[in-house]
Amino acid sequence: MKQKRWNAFVFLLMTALVFCLCSCSGGGGGGHHHPLEPGTIELHNHSAAIIDHFYLAPVDQTSWGPNILDDLLYPDDFILIWDIEPDYYDSKITVTGLYSDYYAYLYDIDIKPGQDIVLHVYNSSFTGSLEIHNDTVGAYIIGVYVVPAGAPTWGSDQSTSDIGPSGQLHLSDFDPGLYDVKIVWNVGPDSNYYDVNIESLTLTTLNVN
């Protein structure tokens, strides 16, 4: 009886070891999972501006995260960004100007394992800004609407508070192009300005009265 019990124990032990080995080896071809080799981005600045921020975020991420530039990127220069996990990314590039900030966006950047992706930015890649100046003596601006030229509706109000005489409103992050602007006053009729040209890396000033 003792011998039979010992044989049964050995059989069960060997069965457990075989099962464990099969599980560890994947059993069905799973094998060991090796991490993918990271990719690299080579960012070239062909613009006339100094780039001071570069954000890179997976396409499904809701925030841009931290700036990943260690130093300023000057015109006609480039920088290498290493160890990027393969995935699809969106990027935001920032220029801090004397009078406004400007942005460039690149979407759906496909980072493949071990590959070097080259990105180029030009003057035309960046957005422009608009500043509204109230040139009246006693009227208040109570609404500002800015839409692409020829848009069928005025969209949403861009102002956050009333703008008094000599006051101003700074708006940024416009794609370069022509825009229509509607100013709503606390007294008198609205003022409409058509085909206002907003250029990249430029602050456009509109004096309204």
The reported pTM is 0.80
Q: Are residues 102 and 115 in the same domain?
A: yes
> Who's near 39: CB < 8 A, 6+ residues apart?
84, 85, 86, 111, 112, 113, 114, 115, 116, 117
100 and 68 share a domain?
yes
Q: What is the domain-level CATH number for residue 67?
A: 2.60.40
CATH number of 144's domain? 2.60.40.2890
Q: What is the pLDDT of residues 109-126, one digit of tens each?
A: 999 999 999 999 999 999
From CA 54, how far away is CA 74, in angstroms rounded? 13
3-state secondary structure of 15: helix
Whole-number average pLDDT of the chain: 88
Would 200 be classed as within a structural domain?
A: yes
What's the total number of domains in the chain? Answer: 2
pLDDT in tens, 28-76: 445 455 578 999 999 999 999 999 999 999 999 999 999 999 999 999 9
Task: Give the pLDDT of residue 34.
Answer: 54
